[in-house]
Amino acid sequence: MRTAETFVEKPRTLAELQAEIASGRTKATDLATGYYDRIAAVNPRLNVYLSLTKERALEQAARVDLAAARGDKLGPLAGIPVGIKDVLVMKGAPATAGSKILEGYRPPYDATAVQKLEAAGAVLLGKLNCDEFAMGSSNENSAYGPVRNPVDTERVPGGSSGGSAAAVAANMAVATLGTDTGGSIRQPASFCGVVGVLPTYGRVSRYGLIAFASSLDRVGPLAANVRDAATILGVIAGHDPRDATSSPAPVPDYASESDKGAERLRIGVPAEYFAEGLDPEVRSAIEQGIAALEAAGCTVKPVSLPHTKYAVPVYYLVATAEASANLARFDGVRYGYRSPDSDTLSAMYSHSRDEGFGAEVKRRILLGTYALSAGYYDAYYLKAQQVRRLLAEEYLRAFAEVDAIVTPTAPTAAFKLGEKTGDPLAMYLADIYTVTASLAGICGVTVPCGKTAAGLPVGMQVLAAHLNESTAFRVARAVEAAKV
């Protein structure tokens, strides 16, 4: 029998692990224990996990082992160790959203995506660090300290799902769930050298997600390879009557779809994503990825997305306005942190929010409240929504001509810890290539596409039309296979 340590030291694909567990050569309980041993050894250095759900995980692993011993048909994720970003709730487990204001909160229910993972047999290891309320591009905004990039611990892992990306990159989970509002799965996946998926808005239920911006938030998987990510998405996708924005469209077999290859697909390359500000090493890696797609039988052609230049200001108006409304519920009354130094109700509200929220969250609440205030709503929030519609229409026109669009995921590789914390605008510009897809509601996958001279990963973003994740996976698999 192979030991759990064998699999923890050398990452395995979902298919390999499933075969080992189904045959009895590896016990799910041993595998889970091996991952907990690795977390104990590595987490103090990387600060990836905020809390562990060991009792629940080992109970699930024992159920999988019993089913395997009986010869029962196992779920698609039976025994697979998975980590959960701490903005998704799990019954009885801490749910901090990376914020002091939710300190001590233990929700009484599971998020739908969490329920679906467990129903498929996944072993849920614990909750992963993230930027506070998913607001950030570096995972330096967490009230519980920054996550470090496993590739280079002096650099950021990206944000806000930095813990989710770092957990996969450091083999502290086989796969993870993250959330993406303006790039929060794709950018950290790029920085850490893993695969990250932005599903179409509504493809995965948001029930049980602690909200940041409700018209933008999405739940998606991160994994070490494209097929594993496709498998995870196939499990968590689908209609949920508890989420009014959830799509009723049937869920394809994404893993099988990703096997079809990319030959004869039409690939669009937008000039707007290769302009000033793109690091030369990143450009070179992406150009090599595009050449690999041509060699795989794709047709490459230019497309135009001229409203891209407005995407960052539009995003930071829409997202902050929605954050202002969503975060009004955290007031020290019902749950979470309450300031002890208040003698009136008004003071308790004010002090609890001032002491409980971090600087970046307070900045975004103020920006959003201003944009929604009387006299400014039409000039800012309404105008931003109008430009958002123009961005979405540009993508619709582009996808009438091409099957997918490829771009850099981020303008640079991972930057140093502390490098941009003093300049919020520079930090916001790290999202310049990801926010357009978020605003348009389309889907995408980021896949590793080469490295810089310093050995830092570069990610290629593959975008596809609404509910067309299958095509994005096919293109991403072709880039992955080329080993750029």
The domains found in the chain, sorted by start residue, are: 20-258 (3.90.1300.10), 266-306+387-482 (3.90.1300.10), 313-378 (no CATH)
**In the prediction, which pLDDT does 3 show?**
43
**In the prediction, which pLDDT does 9 show?**
61
Distance of CA 357 to the CA centre of its chain: 22
Distance of CA 51 to the CA centre of its chain: 19
Q: Which residues are catalytically annotated?
A: 85, 160, 184
For β-strands 123-128 and 81-85, DSSP reports them as parallel
**In the prediction, which pLDDT does 1 show?**
42
- Rg of the chain over Cα atoms, rounded to whole angstroms, equals 21
**In the prediction, which pLDDT does 6 show?**
45
Indicate the SS3 state at residue 296: coil
CB 311 within 8 A of CB 432: yes
CB 137 within 8 A of CB 92: no
Tell me the CA distances in angstroms from 267 to 283, 336, 406, 432, one per residue in order: 17, 48, 7, 21
Q: Which two tokens stand for residue 340?
A: 């002890």
**Virtual torsion, Cα 148, 149, 152, 155, nearest 10 deg:** -70
CB 473 within 8 A of CB 350: no
Of the candidates 32, 3, 454, 346, the one whose C-alpha atom is nearest the C-alpha of residue 354 is 346
**In the prediction, which pLDDT does 425 show?**
85
**In the prediction, which pLDDT does 407 show?**
98
Residue ranges, the chain, pLDDT below 50: 1-7
Which alpha helices (H) appear in 304-447, and where do they start and end? 311-326, 345-356, 359-372, 383-399, 424-428, 435-440
